[in-house]
Structure 1
Protein backbone atom coordinates (compact mmCIF):
# COMPACT_ATOMS: atom_id res chain seq x y z
CA UNK A 1 0.00 0.00 0.00
CA UNK A 2 1.46 3.32 -1.12
CA UNK A 3 0.21 6.13 1.06
CA UNK A 4 3.12 8.57 1.49
CA UNK A 5 2.72 11.57 -0.85
CA UNK A 6 5.73 12.38 -3.02
CA UNK A 7 6.10 15.83 -1.44
CA UNK A 8 6.33 14.27 2.04
CA UNK A 9 8.80 11.69 0.73
CA UNK A 10 10.95 14.51 -0.66
CA UNK A 11 11.06 16.20 2.75
CA UNK A 12 11.90 12.88 4.42
CA UNK A 13 14.68 12.27 1.89
CA UNK A 14 16.55 15.45 2.73
CA UNK A 15 16.19 14.83 6.46
CA UNK A 16 17.25 11.19 6.16
CA UNK A 17 20.28 12.10 4.06
CA UNK A 18 21.45 14.58 6.68
CA UNK A 19 20.78 12.11 9.51
CA UNK A 20 22.76 9.39 7.73
CA UNK A 21 25.72 11.74 7.35
CA UNK A 22 25.57 12.96 10.97
CA UNK A 23 24.63 9.72 12.75
CA UNK A 24 28.16 8.29 12.99
CA UNK A 25 29.20 11.39 14.94
CA UNK A 26 26.05 11.44 17.06
CA UNK A 27 26.14 7.76 18.01
CA UNK A 28 29.91 7.44 18.29
CA UNK A 29 31.17 5.35 15.41
CA UNK A 30 32.85 8.09 13.37
CA UNK A 31 36.12 6.19 13.45
CA UNK A 32 37.19 6.17 9.81
CA UNK A 33 35.97 2.64 9.14
CA UNK A 34 33.35 1.12 6.87
CA UNK A 35 30.73 1.55 9.61
CA UNK A 36 31.05 5.32 9.20
CA UNK A 37 31.70 5.54 5.48
CA UNK A 38 28.94 3.21 4.28
CA UNK A 39 26.32 5.17 6.19
CA UNK A 40 27.67 8.54 5.08
CA UNK A 41 28.00 7.43 1.44
CA UNK A 42 24.37 6.30 1.42
CA UNK A 43 23.37 9.63 2.98
CA UNK A 44 25.30 11.64 0.39
CA UNK A 45 23.86 9.53 -2.44
CA UNK A 46 20.37 10.05 -1.03
CA UNK A 47 20.86 13.82 -0.99
CA UNK A 48 22.22 13.84 -4.54
CA UNK A 49 19.42 11.62 -5.81
CA UNK A 50 16.87 13.84 -4.05
CA UNK A 51 18.23 16.92 -5.78
CA UNK A 52 17.83 15.17 -9.15
CA UNK A 53 14.52 13.32 -8.74
CA UNK A 54 11.37 14.27 -10.64
CA UNK A 55 9.39 15.35 -7.59
CA UNK A 56 8.28 18.57 -5.98
CA UNK A 57 11.35 19.59 -3.96
CA UNK A 58 14.21 18.81 -6.33
CA UNK A 59 16.58 21.14 -8.14
CA UNK A 60 16.44 19.30 -11.47
CA UNK A 61 13.97 16.66 -12.65
CA UNK A 62 16.25 13.96 -14.09
CA UNK A 63 15.49 10.76 -12.17
CA UNK A 64 11.97 9.34 -12.50
CA UNK A 65 10.26 8.90 -9.13
CA UNK A 66 9.80 5.10 -9.53
CA UNK A 67 13.55 4.76 -10.16
CA UNK A 68 14.26 6.86 -7.07
CA UNK A 69 11.97 4.66 -4.98
CA UNK A 70 13.72 1.53 -6.24
CA UNK A 71 17.07 3.08 -5.33
CA UNK A 72 15.70 3.82 -1.85
CA UNK A 73 14.85 0.15 -1.38
CA UNK A 74 18.27 -0.92 -2.69
CA UNK A 75 20.08 1.58 -0.43
CA UNK A 76 18.01 0.39 2.52
CA UNK A 77 18.93 -3.22 1.81
CA UNK A 78 22.60 -2.22 1.61
CA UNK A 79 22.36 -0.49 4.98
CA UNK A 80 20.62 -3.48 6.58
CA UNK A 81 23.24 -6.00 5.45
CA UNK A 82 26.29 -3.69 5.63
CA UNK A 83 27.36 -4.60 9.20
CA UNK A 84 27.83 -8.23 8.12
CA UNK A 85 28.85 -7.54 4.52
CA UNK A 86 31.65 -5.16 5.54
CA UNK A 87 32.57 -6.88 8.80
CA UNK A 88 31.68 -4.37 11.49
CA UNK A 89 28.69 -6.15 13.06
CA UNK A 90 30.73 -6.83 16.18
CA UNK A 91 31.00 -3.04 16.84
CA UNK A 92 27.87 -1.36 15.44
CA UNK A 93 24.73 -2.81 13.91
CA UNK A 94 21.49 -1.15 15.00
CA UNK A 95 21.92 2.31 13.40
CA UNK A 96 22.44 0.69 10.00
CA UNK A 97 19.60 -1.80 10.39
CA UNK A 98 17.11 0.77 11.68
CA UNK A 99 17.92 3.38 9.03
CA UNK A 100 17.91 0.68 6.36
CA UNK A 101 14.47 -0.59 7.35
CA UNK A 102 13.14 2.98 7.38
CA UNK A 103 14.60 3.59 3.92
CA UNK A 104 13.06 0.38 2.58
CA UNK A 105 9.71 1.31 4.13
CA UNK A 106 9.78 4.77 2.58
CA UNK A 107 10.59 3.34 -0.83
CA UNK A 108 7.79 0.78 -0.68
CA UNK A 109 5.06 3.03 0.73
CA UNK A 110 5.49 6.23 -1.30
CA UNK A 111 3.17 6.91 -4.22
CA UNK A 112 5.06 6.43 -7.49
CA UNK A 113 3.69 9.61 -9.09
CA UNK A 114 4.13 13.23 -8.12
CA UNK A 115 1.22 14.66 -6.16
CA UNK A 116 0.84 17.66 -8.45
CA UNK A 117 0.58 15.36 -11.49
CA UNK A 118 -2.06 13.20 -9.80
CA UNK A 119 -4.13 16.31 -9.03
CA UNK A 120 -3.76 17.60 -12.59
CA UNK A 121 -4.63 14.28 -14.23
CA UNK A 122 -7.81 13.87 -12.13
CA UNK A 123 -8.96 17.42 -12.76
CA UNK A 124 -8.55 18.46 -9.13
CA UNK A 125 -7.06 21.81 -8.24
CA UNK A 126 -3.37 21.62 -7.42
Structure 2
Protein backbone atom coordinates (compact mmCIF):
# COMPACT_ATOMS: atom_id res chain seq x y z
CA UNK A 1 0.00 0.00 0.00
CA UNK A 2 1.67 3.21 -1.19
CA UNK A 3 0.08 6.00 0.86
CA UNK A 4 3.03 8.35 1.52
CA UNK A 5 3.79 10.76 -1.33
CA UNK A 6 7.45 11.09 -2.28
CA UNK A 7 7.47 14.78 -1.30
CA UNK A 8 6.38 13.86 2.25
CA UNK A 9 8.92 11.04 2.25
CA UNK A 10 11.60 13.59 1.36
CA UNK A 11 10.73 15.75 4.35
CA UNK A 12 10.85 12.66 6.55
CA UNK A 13 14.24 11.71 5.07
CA UNK A 14 15.92 14.96 6.05
CA UNK A 15 14.23 14.98 9.46
CA UNK A 16 15.33 11.38 10.08
CA UNK A 17 18.89 12.10 8.97
CA UNK A 18 19.17 15.04 11.37
CA UNK A 19 17.48 13.08 14.18
CA UNK A 20 19.89 10.16 13.76
CA UNK A 21 22.90 12.47 13.85
CA UNK A 22 21.62 14.23 17.01
CA UNK A 23 20.11 11.15 18.74
CA UNK A 24 23.19 10.28 20.81
CA UNK A 25 23.03 13.66 22.54
CA UNK A 26 19.24 13.84 22.66
CA UNK A 27 18.93 10.41 24.29
CA UNK A 28 22.14 10.31 26.32
CA UNK A 29 24.37 7.77 24.58
CA UNK A 30 27.06 10.06 23.10
CA UNK A 31 29.95 8.03 24.48
CA UNK A 32 32.10 7.36 21.40
CA UNK A 33 30.90 3.77 21.10
CA UNK A 34 29.09 2.01 18.26
CA UNK A 35 25.82 3.01 19.93
CA UNK A 36 26.70 6.61 19.03
CA UNK A 37 28.40 6.10 15.67
CA UNK A 38 25.91 3.76 13.98
CA UNK A 39 23.01 6.26 13.97
CA UNK A 40 25.30 9.18 13.15
CA UNK A 41 26.79 7.45 10.10
CA UNK A 42 23.38 6.21 8.95
CA UNK A 43 21.92 9.70 9.44
CA UNK A 44 24.64 11.26 7.30
CA UNK A 45 24.08 8.56 4.66
CA UNK A 46 20.32 9.25 4.61
CA UNK A 47 20.98 12.93 3.96
CA UNK A 48 23.53 12.22 1.21
CA UNK A 49 21.43 9.69 -0.71
CA UNK A 50 18.36 11.87 -0.28
CA UNK A 51 20.20 14.75 -1.92
CA UNK A 52 20.93 12.57 -4.96
CA UNK A 53 17.52 10.90 -5.23
CA UNK A 54 15.24 11.56 -8.20
CA UNK A 55 12.36 13.04 -6.20
CA UNK A 56 11.00 16.45 -5.32
CA UNK A 57 13.52 17.20 -2.55
CA UNK A 58 16.62 15.80 -4.23
CA UNK A 59 19.21 18.14 -5.70
CA UNK A 60 20.57 15.77 -8.35
CA UNK A 61 18.53 12.98 -9.96
CA UNK A 62 21.23 10.31 -9.64
CA UNK A 63 19.34 7.42 -8.03
CA UNK A 64 15.76 6.32 -8.70
CA UNK A 65 13.17 6.24 -5.95
CA UNK A 66 13.00 2.42 -5.76
CA UNK A 67 16.76 2.30 -5.06
CA UNK A 68 16.34 5.02 -2.42
CA UNK A 69 13.62 2.97 -0.75
CA UNK A 70 15.85 -0.13 -0.75
CA UNK A 71 18.56 1.94 0.96
CA UNK A 72 15.99 3.07 3.53
CA UNK A 73 14.99 -0.53 4.26
CA UNK A 74 18.62 -1.68 4.48
CA UNK A 75 19.59 1.19 6.77
CA UNK A 76 16.49 0.72 8.89
CA UNK A 77 17.20 -2.99 9.29
CA UNK A 78 20.83 -2.30 10.20
CA UNK A 79 19.76 0.29 12.75
CA UNK A 80 17.15 -2.11 14.13
CA UNK A 81 19.63 -4.94 14.77
CA UNK A 82 22.64 -2.74 15.61
CA UNK A 83 22.28 -2.98 19.41
CA UNK A 84 22.77 -6.76 19.21
CA UNK A 85 25.08 -6.79 16.19
CA UNK A 86 27.52 -4.34 17.81
CA UNK A 87 26.99 -5.45 21.42
CA UNK A 88 25.41 -2.47 23.13
CA UNK A 89 21.86 -3.79 23.63
CA UNK A 90 22.14 -3.93 27.41
CA UNK A 91 23.02 -0.23 27.57
CA UNK A 92 20.78 1.35 24.92
CA UNK A 93 18.56 -0.13 22.23
CA UNK A 94 15.14 1.54 22.07
CA UNK A 95 16.08 4.57 19.89
CA UNK A 96 17.83 2.33 17.37
CA UNK A 97 14.97 -0.16 17.27
CA UNK A 98 12.22 2.48 17.12
CA UNK A 99 13.78 4.58 14.36
CA UNK A 100 14.80 1.45 12.44
CA UNK A 101 11.23 0.12 12.50
CA UNK A 102 9.81 3.49 11.47
CA UNK A 103 12.30 3.78 8.61
CA UNK A 104 11.34 0.35 7.25
CA UNK A 105 7.60 1.07 7.63
CA UNK A 106 7.84 4.46 5.91
CA UNK A 107 9.76 2.92 3.00
CA UNK A 108 7.11 0.22 2.64
CA UNK A 109 4.32 2.80 2.57
CA UNK A 110 5.90 5.30 0.16
CA UNK A 111 5.05 5.72 -3.52
CA UNK A 112 7.67 4.04 -5.70
CA UNK A 113 7.87 6.88 -8.23
CA UNK A 114 8.00 10.61 -7.69
CA UNK A 115 5.23 12.67 -9.25
CA UNK A 116 7.44 15.25 -10.98
CA UNK A 117 9.85 15.84 -13.86
CA UNK A 118 13.01 15.24 -11.85
CA UNK A 119 14.91 16.14 -8.72
CA UNK A 120 14.81 19.90 -8.31
CA UNK A 121 14.04 20.08 -12.04
CA UNK A 122 17.46 18.61 -12.94
CA UNK A 123 17.73 15.67 -15.34
- The answer, yes or no, to whether TM exceeds 0.5 is yes
1:85-125 CA distance string (max 9 Å, x none): 000001000000000001001111100010226xxxxxxxx
Whether 2:64 is the aligned partner of 1:101: answer no
Which consecutive segments of 4 or more residues in structure 1 shift more than 4 A? none
Q: Deviations over 1:26-79 (max 9, x none)?
A: 110000000000010110000000000000011111011000001100100001
Rounded Cα–Cα distance in structure 2 between residues aligned with 1:68 and 1:116: 16
**1:20 aligned residue:** 20
CA-based RMSD: 0.7
Are positions 1:8 and 2:3 aligned together? no
The alignment of Structure 1 onto Structure 2 pairs a total of residues equal to 117
Q: 2:55 aligns to what?
A: 55
Where in structure 2 are there 5+ consecutive unaligned residues? 118-123
Check if 1:46 corresponds to 2:46. Answer: yes
Q: Unmatched 5+ residue regions in structure 1? A: 118-126
TM-score (norm 2): 0.93
1: CA distance between counterparts of 2:63 and 2:32? 31
Secondary structure at the counterpart of residue 40 of structure 2: helix
Bigger Rg, structure 1 or 2: 1
